[in-house]
């Protein structure tokens, strides 16, 4: 049975646009149907201490037969392929690639490896605005009384700049 998954992509080290294009193309290959892509956005780093480079962020949606844990493992493998270490360091760090499973078919899940929906996605404009581009009527299952626009309005302002459409690389 096909399930819809929403994935947030981010990068602030290296050739971020190329890295996100590669990741989008690789993730799209996990989709049974045509993947949907948001714009590519330049965003201010959130939660960091000190000065770090701006991020490029996007969101995509796929239709997959993979379960949520298997999809998470596939996303982590793509991150490793792009040089991200899965170190035990706590806190925010700059990275070549960050892939977050935001939602898996509206499922609410909490396991040792995965929390769905992503616990901070509903508070971040750099996720909410691209998510609205991909699935305008999306509602978080645990906050279904709020539209995406209401969550965007409530989230701290990020001063995001739309750059272009995210283009997956083959």
Place of tokens 């083959």: 170
* Residue 160: CB atoms within 10 Å: 18
Three-state secondary structure call for residue 38: coil
- Does the active-site annotation cover 124? no
- Does the active-site annotation cover 159? no
- Does the active-site annotation cover 34? no
Catalytic residue among 100, 105, 124, 162: 100
Three-state secondary structure call for residue 69: helix
Catalytic residue among 65, 70, 81, 95: 95
Catalytic residue among 36, 84, 103, 124: 84
Catalytic residue among 36, 98, 103, 124: 98
Structure token pair of residue 30: 């996990």
> 161 forms bridges with which residues in the sheet?
42
Q: Give the pairing type, strands 39-43 and 55-64.
A: antiparallel
With residue 27 as reference, give the H or E element that holds it.
helix 16-28
- Does the active-site annotation cover 139? no
Q: Give CA–CA dist 133/113, Å, rounded.
A: 28
Positions annotated as catalytic residues are 84, 95, 98, 100
């Amino acid at each position: 049975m096909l399930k819809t998954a929403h994935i947030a992509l981010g990068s602030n080290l290296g050739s971020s646009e190329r890295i996100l294009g590669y990741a989008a193309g690789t993730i799209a290959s996990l989709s049974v149907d045509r993947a949907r892509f948001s714009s590519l956005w330049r965003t201010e780093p959130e939660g960091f201490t000190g000065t770090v480079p701006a991020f490029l962020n996007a969101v995509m949606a796929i239709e997959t037969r993979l379960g949520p844990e298997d999809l998470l493992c596939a996303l982590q493998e793509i991150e490793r392929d792009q040089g991200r270490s899965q170190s035990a360091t706590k806190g925010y760090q700059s990275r070549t690639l960050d892939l977050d499973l935001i939602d898996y078919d509206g499922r609410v899940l909490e396991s040792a490896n995965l929390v769905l929906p992503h616990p901070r996605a509903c508070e971040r404009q750099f996720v909410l605005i691209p998510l609205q581009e991909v699935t305008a009527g999306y509602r978080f299952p645990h906050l279904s009384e709020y539209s995406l626009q209401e969550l965007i309005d409530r989230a701290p302002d990020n001063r995001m700049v739309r750059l272009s459409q995210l283009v997956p690389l083959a």
